């Protein structure tokens, strides 16, 4: 016994819910399937909660600089992480509930909770139920990559997802990975009051950006007291009394740094390994990303993938569906979100391939890139 729909959407991340609404409004019988939290990464462990945390960190940072703005704060600025987390949970929770209520309120749309797996090209199994559809849309997103670096099984470590449960101030947070996510958490926790060390394998931070951007970002972060270790080849982890040692083969500096907590921010992998794509005949690249054409159609007619496809392919389309955050938005293509303060915005191109590049703008929350404290924050604008 199976149920038939005109369209099945797997995942309720950025594209899935909007697509469900469009198809259902057009009179199609739609099923949308979610295995975990409605709204996916952006709503629950990515953009929205992290930008809420960034906003708290920014408020603490400005409070500490009160004298520059002409006011006094009596006593130290101390951050209560339980309240910071509660605020984040509230903002993120409202989004999560909003997505669920929206989907459940749609006519012609059936919401199913469970893990979806292809049984064949037009058949999906969820909670032992067989569902069939003429059109299938994959919106399964990705998760933190945890590389098999020596010692990682022996030590506790955090990822962007488990960071969402942190309601205390790590004394010394060591972040492995100096790209967007690592820098965002690094600056945020430094502003909350932690000691922060960022360990990056490459020769510079956010290696996808132009060199002058990397340098400007490094200057900004170091000026806030963040320790940065570059060229950290051969990273390994080991237990230490009350903490974790991150060992590295750096050109300069001590061969290891010991922190109380370690965050791994070393990239993302697509959620395609447990989707039964082989049964559907859907092709992936060697890293597990789904291969699609310009219309986001896979090699199997009737199956599209809105995410978990190579980044370059998705830039223009993802931009259409990414929810606006309070942090960035400039050019027509929103590329890599660089969400530390001063905030960055990128068109997705870098010099010299394009005249347009990232701009690191002195910025405040909600200013869309232009800042309330523009006169005092460091930054760099490239157009």
Ligand X SMILES: Cc1cc2nc3c(=O)[nH]c(=O)nc-3n(C[C@H](O)[C@H](O)[C@H](O)COP(=O)(O)OP(=O)(O)OC[C@H]3O[C@@H](n4cnc5c(N)ncnc54)[C@H](O)[C@@H]3O)c2cc1C
State which residue, 214 or 314, has the beta carbon closest to ligand X.
314
Contact 209, 94 (CB under 8 A): no
List the structure tokens of 263. Answer: 């965050």
From 20, 24, 31, 181, residue interacting with ligand X (rule: CB under 6 A): 181
| 59-98 binders of ligand X (CB under 6 A) | none
Looking at beta carbons only, is 102 or 250 nearer to ligand X? 102
CB burial of 132-171 (b: ≥16 within 10 Å; e: otherwise) equals bbebbbbbbbbebeeeebebbeebebbbbeebbebeebbe
342 touches ligand X by CB under 6 A: no
Question: Considering the rule CB under 6 A, would residue 327 count as an interface residue with ligand X?
Answer: yes
The residues in 161-180 that bind ligand X, with binding defined as CB under 6 A, are none
* Shortest separation between residue 325's beta carbon and ligand X, angstroms: 5
Given 12, 95, 350, 357, the residue binding ligand X (CB under 6 A): 12
Rule CB under 6 A: say whether 345 interacts with ligand X: no
Query: How many binding residues for ligand X (CB under 6 A)?
Result: 34
Q: How far apart are CA 316 and CA 313, in angstroms?
A: 8
For 3, phi then psi, to 5°, come to: -100, 140
The DSSP 8-state label assigned to residue 294 in this structure reads T
Least Å from the CB of residue 46 to ligand X: 3
Instruction: List beta partners, residue 227.
Output: 197
| CA–CA gap between residue 181 and residue 315 (Å, rounded) | 18
Shortest distance (Å) from residue 334 CB to ligand X: 7
123 binds ligand X (CB under 6 A): no
Torsional sign, CA 347, 348, 353, 357: positive
The residue within the footprint of ligand X, chosen from 110, 139, 214, 371 (CB under 6 A), is 139
Q: Decide whether 96 or 350 has the Cβ nearer to ligand X.
A: 96
State the pairing for strand pair 116-120/123-126.
Answer: antiparallel
Nearer to ligand X, 140 or 199 (CB): 140
Among 141, 178, 182, 344, binds ligand X (CB under 6 A): 141
Pick the binder of ligand X from 187, 271, 298, 371 (CB under 6 A): 271
Q: Of the candidates 246, 262, 277, 339, which one interacts with ligand X according to CB under 6 A? A: 339
Q: Which stretch binds ligand X (CB under 6 A): 86-94, 219-227, 246-254, 319-327?
A: 319-327
- Is residue 59 within 8 A of residue 31, CB to CB? The reply is no
14 is a site residue for ligand X (CB under 6 A): yes
Residues 28-47 that bind ligand X (CB under 6 A): 33-37, 40-42, 46-47
> Residue 314: helix, strand or coil by DSSP?
helix
DSSP state at residue 162: G
Asked if 325 touches ligand X (CB under 6 A), the answer is yes
C-alpha torsion 64→69→72→76, nearest 10:
0
Q: How far is the first Cα of the chain from the last one, in angstroms, to the nearest whole number?
A: 59
**CA 140/CA 198 separation, integer angstroms:** 30
* 13 binds ligand X, rule: CB under 6 A: yes
Q: Answer yes or no whether residue 116 interacts with ligand X by CB under 6 A.
A: yes
* Contact status, residue 29 vs residue 6, Cβ threshold 8 Å: yes
Residue number with CB closer to ligand X (15 or 258): 15
Q: Are 105 and 187 in contact (CB under 8 A)?
A: no
Residues that bind ligand X (CB under 6 A): 10-15, 33-37, 40-42, 46-47, 50-51, 115-116, 139-142, 160, 181, 271, 275, 307, 322, 325, 327, 337, 339
């Amino acid at each position: 016994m199976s149920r038939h729909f005109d369209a099945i959407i797997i995942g309720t991340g950025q594209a899935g819910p909007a697509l469900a609404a469009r198809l259902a409004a057009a009179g199609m019988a739609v099923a949308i399937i979610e295995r975990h939290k409605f709204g996916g990464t952006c709503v629950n462990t990515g953009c929205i909660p992290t930008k809420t945390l960034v906003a708290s960190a920014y408020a603490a940072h400005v409070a500490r600089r009160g004298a520059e703005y002409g006011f006094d704060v009596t006593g130290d600025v101390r951050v209560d992480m339980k309240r910071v987390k509660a605020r984040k949970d509230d903002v993120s929770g409202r989004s999560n509930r909003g997505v669920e209520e929206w989907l459940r309120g749609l006519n012609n749309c059936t919401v199913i909770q469970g893990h979806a797996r292809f049984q064949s090209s037009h058949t999906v199994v969820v909670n032992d139920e067989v569902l069939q559809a003429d059109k299938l849309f994959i919106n399964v997103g990705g998760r933190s990559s945890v590389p098999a670096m020596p010692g990682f099984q022996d030590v506790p470590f955090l990822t962007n997802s488990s960071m969402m449960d942190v309601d205390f101030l790590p004394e010394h947070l060591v972040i492995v990975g100096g790209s967007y996510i690592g820098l965002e958490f690094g600056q945020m926790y430094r502003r909350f009051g932690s000691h922060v060390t960022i360990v990056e394998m490459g020769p510079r931070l956010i290696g996808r950006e132009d060199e002058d951007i990397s340098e400007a970002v490094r200057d900004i972060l170091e000026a806030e007291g963040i320790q940065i270790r570059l060229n950290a080849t051969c990273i390994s982890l080991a237990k230490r009394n009350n903490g974790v040692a991150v060992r590295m083969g750096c050109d300069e500096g001590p061969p290891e740094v010991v922190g109380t907590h370690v965050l791994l921010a070393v990239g993302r992998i697509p959620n395609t390994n447990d989707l039964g794509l082989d049964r559907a005949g859907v092709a992936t690249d060697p890293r597990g990303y789904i291969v699609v054409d310009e219309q986001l159609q896979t090699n199997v007619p009737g199956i599209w993938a809105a995410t978990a496809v190579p980044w370059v392919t998705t830039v223009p389309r993802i931009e259409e569906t990414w929810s606006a955050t309070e942090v960035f938005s400039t050019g027509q293509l929103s590329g890599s979100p660089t969400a530390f303060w001063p905030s960055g915005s990128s068109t997705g191109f870098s010099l010299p391939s394009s005249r347009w590049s990232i701009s690191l703008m002195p910025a405040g929350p909600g200013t869309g890139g232009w800042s309330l404290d523009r006169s005092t924050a460091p930054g760099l604008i490239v157009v």
